[in-house]
A = this chain, B = another copy of it.
Amino acid sequence: MLRTHTCGELNASNTGEKVILCGWVARRRDHGKLIFIDLRDRHGFTQVVFSPRDCPGAYDQAQGLRSEFVIKITGIVNKRPQGTLNPKLPTGEIEILAQDLEILNTSATPAFEIEEDSDIAEETRLKYRYLDLRRKKVFDNFILRSKVYRIIRNFLDPLGFIECETPILTKSTPEGARDYLVPSRINPGYFYALPQSPQLFKQILMVAGIEKYYQIAKCFRDEDLRADRQPEFTQLDLEMSFIEEEDIFSLTEELMKLIFKGIKGIEIKTPFVRITFAQAQNKYKSDKPDLRKELNTEFAFAWVTDFPLFKYNAQEKRWESEHHPFTAPHKDDIDKLQEAPDKVKSRSYDLVLNGTEIGSGSIRIHNQKLQEKIFDVIGINKDEAHKRFGFLLEAFQFGAPPHGGIALGLDRLLAVLAGESSIREVIAFPKTSIAVCPLTSAPSEVDEKQLKELNLTVKKGGVNEKRR
């Protein structure tokens, strides 16, 4: 370690100790006889004093310090003189009298002031994300994320959930959005798809007898972007066997209770309000009603249930799945599948928080005959079903247990917890609305050699002239 302490931990009880601190120069104040530096690291600020009398060498060097230089200070912890204490700072009782200064790195003038509160264009912030992340408000969103992950795992692990990784290079999944494709070099003309979710794999894991699965999983959808959409996003994906809706509801509620208690210190009330889709449409004209006013609370959760199993695609004149084709219908509605698909309610559920859908799930179909009936309604014939989901349908022949689960959108949940309106604020390196990363400039052009190895050609006129 190059340091003995962080910039956030020294106080009057350390008086007289010789310490070594490392950090960034946040502010330099030259008082003529003394130079003061506010030294910043992730943990806080510590005031450092350079005196020409006590240590002329370090004093001289300190005159050259500029904002965001990285330095290493050796010095003695002193109580600050009466009247100069800063009660707002945890280290505000003390200062370090510098004995030695080492400049670990210089810095060009930052594109924006780190301490500045004023609005900086998002594109600039993202291009210089490493500067942006030095700002406490931005950094705190990532502390928040890691805390929430810890709460999730510390809750699920002791309950017997197995964390299991599913592939990123895989086959098209049934969510219905556009897939990102990855050309295979070894299998020319063939493509992997990045998963829109681990849906099919978590169902396979239930057939495999895992019983309780979870994963904090990256999901990919090539959709046009908005504030709450990104090409890649993170969800808490979980699935259980031998359960019913109530088990998912109570598990999720318990988890939310722990997260809001742990992060916000708030006791949220469980069980959550439950509203059927029909009620929600009737009363709120929305399937994700914001109940904050009605419930008189800062964070208003609701389960929306009993979604229709199908929706009618007027353009293509056919029924399609509202959720995905593996969602189970209500038992009582099974006999309506043929004659009145519009009347069939599903065993799916959405979790809504403050008018935002933060989770979605269902009890799945585990019976093959029922599955075939569903495909029949949505006009997927056996061949097509086999082509798209064949491996899951085949797996279902070998003793699939009753199962169901939920996926919680962690970026959206974190944005609500952080009081941010865009999920970009809780993603370390997000993409812009045209799916570009301002930091790395990805996506970018590639060598002809790479395309040749993949047996691909880019069509003429296809290259984006705007970005060249």
Q: Contacts A435-B187, A446-B191 known; A391 to B440 CB distance under 8 Å? A: yes
Q: How far is the CA of A200 from the CA of B146 in the complex (A)?
A: 20
| B462 with A189: CB separation less than 8 A | yes
| B134 with A208: CB separation less than 8 A | yes
What is the CB-to-nearest-CB distance from A216 to chain B, in angstroms, rounded to a whole number?
A: 9
On chain B, the residues within 8 Å of A189 by CB distance are 445, 458, 462-464
A434: contacting residue among B187, B191, B400, CB under 8 A? B187
What is the CB-to-nearest-CB distance from A113 to chain B, in angstroms, rounded to a whole number?
A: 12
Q: How far is the CA of A383 from the CA of B232 in the complex (A)?
A: 30
Residue A176 at the chain B interface, CB threshold 8 Å: no
| B467 with A462: CB separation less than 8 A | no
What is the CB-to-nearest-CB distance from A155 to chain B, in angstroms, rounded to a whole number?
A: 13
Q: Which of A209-240 contact B (CB under 8 A)?
A: 209-211, 218, 220, 222, 224, 231-232, 234
What is the CB-to-nearest-CB distance from A330 to chain B, in angstroms, rounded to a whole number?
A: 17
| B399 with A193: CB separation less than 8 A | no
Q: Which of A142-168 contact B (CB under 8 A)?
A: 142-143, 145-146, 149-150, 153, 157, 162-168
Residue A139 at the chain B interface, CB threshold 8 Å: yes
| A455 with B450: CB separation less than 8 A | no
Residue A428 at the chain B interface, CB threshold 8 Å: yes
Q: How far is the CA of A192 from the CA of B429 in the complex (A)?
A: 14
Binds B, one of A99-107, A309-317, A339-347: A99-107
| B146 with A163: CB separation less than 8 A | yes
| A182 with B180: CB separation less than 8 A | yes
On chain B, the residues within 8 Å of A434 by CB distance are 186-187
On chain B, the residues within 8 Å of A450 by CB distance are 178-179, 181
Q: Contacts A1-B242, A146-B163, A208-B133 known; A401 to B431 CB distance under 8 Å? A: no
| A402 with B209: CB separation less than 8 A | no
Residue A397 at the chain B interface, CB threshold 8 Å: yes
| B232 with A190: CB separation less than 8 A | no
| A107 with B443: CB separation less than 8 A | no
Residue A307 at the chain B interface, CB threshold 8 Å: no
Residue A419 at the chain B interface, CB threshold 8 Å: no
Residue A395 at the chain B interface, CB threshold 8 Å: yes
| B247 with A1: CB separation less than 8 A | yes
Majority SS at the chain A contact face: loop
Residue A10 at the chain B interface, CB threshold 8 Å: no
| A130 with B208: CB separation less than 8 A | yes
| A169 with B444: CB separation less than 8 A | no
Residue A121 at the chain B interface, CB threshold 8 Å: no
Contact with B along A441-464 (1 / 0, CB 8 A): 111111000100111111100111
A443: contacting residue among B191, B207, B391, CB under 8 A? B191
On chain B, the residues within 8 Å of A455 by CB distance are 458-459, 462
Contact with B along A399-429 (1 / 0, CB 8 A): 1111000000000000000000000000111
Residue A336 at the chain B interface, CB threshold 8 Å: no
| A24 with B133: CB separation less than 8 A | no
| B105 with A191: CB separation less than 8 A | no
On chain B, the residues within 8 Å of A456 by CB distance are 456-459, 462
Q: Contacts A105-B367, A146-B162 known; A170 to B440 CB distance under 8 Å? A: yes
Q: List 21 A-B contacts (CB under 8 A).
A: A42-B211, A70-B401, A107-B399, A108-B398, A128-B398, A145-B163, A153-B153, A165-B234, A168-B168, A168-B218, A169-B231, A170-B437, A171-B440, A187-B467, A189-B462, A189-B464, A191-B443, A191-B445, A192-B442, A205-B428, A391-B441
19 further A-B contacts with Cβ under 8 Å, apart from A22-B241, A145-B164, are A2-B244, A22-B242, A24-B399, A105-B366, A150-B157, A166-B428, A167-B232, A168-B218, A169-B231, A169-B443, A170-B429, A170-B440, A181-B446, A183-B183, A188-B462, A190-B445, A190-B467, A204-B439, A205-B428
